[in-house]
C-alpha cells in the first residue's frame, strides 16, 4: 500500500489494527503522518474512528516540522494547537523532540501501555536537520540537488558531519 | 411478474451466510446500516461489523487496511457517496494496492427517488469503470444479486456493485448460474439487440421486447450485469446476428453500459446503436415512475429507439 496520496495512511493503519484485533493478534500498528498532510480532512475522519474503536494497538506519529510545500504551516494552513486537536479527538497524546531517540523510545514504551486509546506521538522536528544545504531552507521539500552540492556533502560526511 | 423481497434483505442474508463460512468477511457501513438493511449482520457478527459514521473516505481507506491483513470487506453507502466521496481512497488505497475491497453503491440512479439530486448518482458506474482492473456489476433481481455477491466474494480483487435496495421484479429462476463478465441472453432475437443492466432497465427492456414483438420485430434481450469487464464475445455475436443495438441503463449514457457496448462495436464489429439512459443531466426529486418518464428510462422509449435504429438499418 502507499500513502502517497496524502491522508490515506492513517485510515489504512486503522484497518490493519481492526483486522489484527479481530484475529486476536497481539501487535502494534505504526503510522507516520506529516503536519502538512494533516490538512487533509481524511486524517480527522480517521482520527475520530480510531478513538471510537478504542484502538490501543495503534501508535501514530506526526512529523511536526512546521513546514509544507508552499511555506510554513502557520502561513499556509495553520494547524493551531495540534496537541489539543488530537486530545479533542480522544487520543492519548505525547510530545517529544523528534530528533532525540531516547525520548522517542520512552514515548513508544508509554504508548504500548495505553489500555483503551490510540496514541499520537507528536514529534517536534526540523526539516532537513543536519544537512547544511537543506536545514532552514524553505524550499527543501523537493529541492534540486546538483553535483557540487553532492560532492560537498560527501566531503562533509567523510569528515563526520554534513 | 411478481414483486420480490427487498434486495437489501438478500444482500444482508447472503453476507451473513458467507460470513458463517468464511471468517474473512467483514461488513462496513457509513451511517446507513438501516437503509442498507444490514442490522441483522451486525447483530450476528458484531466483531466483524464496522459502522464508520458519515465518513466514506475513511471507510474506504480502513476497508483497504482490513483487506491488507487478509479480510474481505464489503463496504456500502448510497451510490454517489460510495463512489464520488471515496474515489481517491478506493482508487489508491484499495485498487492501486491490488487489494480485495468490495465497494457497494446503493440506490443507484433514479432509485434514489425522493432523496433527489444530491443522492441520485448517474455517474458512479462510469467513475468506477475508469479504475484499472476493477470489476463493476449491477444485478437486476434477487437471484442474480445473491449469486453475483457470492462470485464477487470468491473473486480476488476489488469490485464495485450497484445495489438496488428495494424489491424488484423476478427475472431469473433460482437455479440460474452467473459468471462475472458474462452477459445473459434473456430472450433471443434477430432484428435488434436490447442490452440492459440493473433492476430498472432489464425489466423495461423485456417489456419493450414484448411491445416490439406485437409489431413483428424480433428483439433479443441481454442482461449485461457486468459492465467491466464487458462481455465482448456476446456483443460481437449479437452484432453479427442483429446488426442493431439499443443499450438501456439507469445511468448517464456516458462511460457506463452504452459506452462499453459502443467501444466493443466500434473496435470489433461496427453496428448501429442507440443509447437509452440519462442524457447529460443531474438527478431530481421524484417517485420512480415519474423519474422513469423524466429521463426516458421506459419500455416505450426503448421501443422507440429500437424502431429508430431499425429505420437506420434499412
More confident residue, A162 or B74: B74
Q: What angle do CA A67, A72, A75 make, to 5 degrees?
A: 145
Give the CA diameter of chain B: 62
Q: What is the pLDDT of residues B270-291, one digit of tens each?
A: 999 999 999 999 999 999 999 9
Q: Which of chain B's residues have a Cβ under 8 Å away from the Cβ of A12?
A: 61-62, 64-65, 68, 93
B21's CB contacts (< 8 A; 6+ apart) are none
Average pLDDT of the residues in B229-247: 98
Can you give the pLDDT at residue A145? Answer: 83
- In the predicted structure, residue A94 carries a pLDDT above the cut 60: yes
Mutate to test the interface with A, among B65, B68, B73, B89 (most CBs of A within 10 A): B65
pLDDT at residue A51, as a whole number: 98
Cα B16 from Cα B26, distance rounded (Å): 10
| pLDDT of B310 | 98
Strands (E), chain B: 3-6, 25-29, 49-51, 72-78, 102-106, 135-137, 159-163, 167-169, 184-187, 192-196, 219-223, 226-228, 244-252, 272-278
Count the Cβ atoms, other than its own, within 10 Å of residue A151: 10
Q: What is the pLDDT of residues B81-132, one digit of tens each?
A: 999 999 999 999 999 999 999 999 999 999 999 999 999 999 999 999 999 9
- Other beta carbons within 10 angstroms of residue B5's beta carbon come to 12
Indicate the angle between helix axes B299-313 and B198-214, nearest 10 degrees: 60
Torsion, Cα of A58, B89, B119, B29 (10° steps): -30
User: Contacts of residue A42 in chain B, CB cutoff 8 Å?
Assistant: 57-58, 61, 89
Cell of B148: 453475483
Q: With contacts defined as CB-CB under 8 Å, which chain A residues touch B61?
A: 8, 10-12, 14-15, 42, 46
User: Which set of grid coordinates corresponds to residue B184?
Assistant: 445473459
**DSSP secondary-structure letter at B95?**
I
**pLDDT of A2 higher than 80:** yes
B67 touches chain A (CB under 8 A): yes
pTM of the model: 0.96
Look at residue B2 in the predicted model and tell me its pLDDT: 43
**To the nearest whole angstrom, how far is the Cα of A11 from the nearest Cα of chain B?**
5
Amino acid at each position: 500500500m502507499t500513502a502517497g496520496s496524502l491522508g490515506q495512511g492513517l485510515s489504512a493503519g486503522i484497518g490493519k489494527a481492526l483486522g489484527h484485533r479481530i484475529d486476536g493478534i497481539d501487535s502494534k500498528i505504526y503510522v507516520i503522518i506529516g503536519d502538512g498532510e494533516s490538512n487533509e480532512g481524511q486524517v480527522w475522519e480517521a482520527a475520530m474512528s480510531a478513538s471510537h474503536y478504542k484502538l490501543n494497538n495503534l501508535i501514530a506519529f506526526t512529523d511536526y516540522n512546521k513546514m509544507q510545500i508552499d511555506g510554513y504551516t502557520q502561513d499556509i494552513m495553520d494547524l493551531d494547537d495540534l496537541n489539543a486537536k488530537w486530545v479533542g479527538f480522544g487520543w492519548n497524546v505525547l510530545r517529544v523532540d523528534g530528533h532525540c531517540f531516547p525520548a522517542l523510545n520512552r514515548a513508544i514504551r508509554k504508548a504500548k501501555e495505553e489500555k483503551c486509546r490510540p496514541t499520537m506521538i507528536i514529534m517536534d522536528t526540523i526539516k532537513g536537520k543536519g544537512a547544511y544545504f537543506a536545514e532552514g531552507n524553505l524550499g527543501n521539500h523537493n529541492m534540486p540537488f546538483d553535483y557540487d552540492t553532492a560532492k560537498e556533502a560527501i566531503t562533509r560526511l567523510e569528515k563526520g558531519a554534513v | 411478474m411478481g414483486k420480490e423481497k427487498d434486495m437489501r434483505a438478500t444482500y444482508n442474508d447472503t453476507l451473513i451466510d458467507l460470513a458463517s463460512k468464511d471468517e474473512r468477511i467483514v461488513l462496513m457501513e457509513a451511517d446507513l446500516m438501516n437503509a442498507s438493511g444490514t442490522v441483522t449482520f451486525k447483530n450476528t457478527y458484531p466483531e466483524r461489523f464496522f459502522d464508520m459514521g458519515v465518513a466514506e473516505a475513511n471507510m474506504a481507506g480502513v476497508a483497504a487496511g482490513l483487506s491488507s491483513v487478509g479480510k474481505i470487506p464489503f463496504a456500502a453507502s448510497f451510490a454517489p457517496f460510495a463512489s464520488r466521496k471515496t474515489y481517491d481512497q478506493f482508487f489508491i488505497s484499495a485498487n492501486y494496492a491490488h487489494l480485495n475491497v468490495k465497494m457497494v453503491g446503493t440506490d443507484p440512479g433514479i432509485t434514489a427517488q425522493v432523496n433527489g439530486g444530491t443522492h441520485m448518482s448517474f455517474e458512479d458506474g462510469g467513475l468506477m469503470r475508469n479504475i484499472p482492473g476493477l470489476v463493476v456489476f449491477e444485478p437486476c433481481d434477487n437471484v442474480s444479486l445473491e449469486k453475483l455477491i457470492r462470485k464477487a466474494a470468491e473473486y480476488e480483487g476489488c469490485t464495485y456493485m450497484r445495489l438496488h435496495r428495494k424489491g424488484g421484479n423476478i427475472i431469473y429462476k433460482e437455479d440460474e448460474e452467473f459468471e462475472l463478465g458474462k452477459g445473459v441472453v434473456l430472450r433471443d432475437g434477430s432484428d435488434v439487440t436490447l442490452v440492459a443492466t440493473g433492476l430498472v432497465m432489464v425489466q423495461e427492456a423485456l417489456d419493450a421486447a414484448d411491445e416490439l414483438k406485437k409489431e413483428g420485430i424480433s428483439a433479443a434481450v441481454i442482461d449485461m450485469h457486468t459492465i467491466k469487464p464487458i462481455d465482448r464475445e456476446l456483443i460481437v455475436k449479437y452484432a453479427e446476428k442483429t446488426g442493431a443495438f439499443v443499450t438501456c441503463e439507469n445511468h448517464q449514457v456516458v462511460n457506463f453500459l452504452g459506452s462499453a457496448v459502443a467501444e466493443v462495436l466500434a473496435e470489433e464489429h461496427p453496428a448501429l446503436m442507440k443509447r437509452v439512459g440519462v442524457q447529460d443531466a443531474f438527478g431530481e426529486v421524484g417517485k420512480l415512475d415519474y423519474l422513469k418518464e423524466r429521463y426516458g428510462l421506459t419500455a416505450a422509449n426503448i421501443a422507440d429507439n429500437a424502431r429508430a435504429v431499425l429505420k437506420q438499418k434499412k
